[in-house]
Amino acid sequence: MTNPENKPRRRFLGRTGAGTALLALAPGVRLVDLVLAKDEDEPASDETRWGLLVDANRCTTGCRACVSACEDEHALAKTGRNRLDPQWIRKVELVDESNDRSLSIPLMCQHCEDPPCVEVCPTGASFKRADGMVLVDKHTCIGCRYCMMACPFNARSFVHEEVTGQKSYSPRGKGTVESCTLCVHRVDNDRTPACVESCAVDGHGALAFGDLNDAESTVSKTARSQPHRELRPDLALNTGVRYRGV
């Protein structure tokens, strides 16, 4: 296979060029800054590290906007057997062990920088793209489920039966493993993940998406100015999804 050697060229779009991606949440706070977008024939660049910042203070118990948006976007139909339903993103209610404070968070693939799922996958079907997205190449996934054993967050699902009605941009099928793709098909087209969009539309704005490597991006700025954490800091995964207020 030829590996395009051409150095990633970055295109400066300018604020207006990024158009729809600039959704105003509150004065001075923007959802994403996709001022740098890539050409369609350009490979993902390791200068970018896509990440999500979840604000648990804004996330509310009972709200499932992000989950529904994900299900619609990727045509994740219910299987009729709860325990086999695909779960790319799910809502989890937490209780602080020290003071019994309870909170609600969305939980999806954390897009670990050192992903255990990638480390264990025998065929290399689980892989991390240059820009930090952890994905499954379903062409080479043999369905051994070792990655599911390795993932600390139960973030992956196995497709237990035949699937129909897939979206053209989100192939999925029986016998392979799947998980949150960070909506790679949208991000590659300068859009934000479906969950982020729906959370904003619902007025919560608990999810922010952007380039963690870009010092000027909102996620980076917020991450610098506000305390945030990984869910399992002890495992040193350096996740791309970070949580505030947890």
Is the Cβ of residue 54 or residue 117 nearer to ligand SF4 in the bound state? 117
CB atoms within 10 A of CB 124: 10
Instruction: Decide if residue 108 touches another protein (CB under 8 A).
Output: no
Could you give the CA distance from residue 34 to residue 133 in angstroms, rounded to a whole number?
16
Q: Which helix (H) or strand (E) holds 107?
A: strand 102-108
Give least dist CB 16 to ligand SF4, A.
34
- β-strands 126-128, 134-136: how paired? antiparallel
Nearest CA to 107 out of 148, 59, 139 is that of 59
The reply to whether 51 sits near ligand SF4 by the rule CB under 6 A is no
Note whether 116 binds ligand SF4 by CB under 6 A: yes
According to CB under 8 A, which one of 30, 49, 74, 90 is a site residue for another protein?
90
Indicate the SS3 state at residue 194. Answer: helix
Q: What mask, x for binding another protein by CB under 8 A, covers residues 119 to 148? A: xxxxxxx-x-xxx---x-xxxxxxxxxx-x
One of 35, 66, 177, 180 touching another protein (CB under 8 A): 177
Q: Is 154 in the site for another protein (CB under 8 A)?
A: yes
Of 59, 105, 53, give the one whose Cα is nearest residue 226.
Answer: 53
The sign of the torsion formed by the CA atoms of 150, 134, 184, 216 equals: positive
Is 224 one of the binding residues for another protein (CB under 8 A)? no
Query: Which amino acid belongs to residue 85?
Result: D
Residue 115 interacts with which of ligand SF4, another protein, none, CB < 5 to 8 Å by class: ligand SF4
Q: Enumerate binding residues for ligand SF4 (CB under 6 A).
A: 109-112, 115-117, 121-123, 125-126, 134, 136, 141-147, 151, 153, 155-156, 177, 179
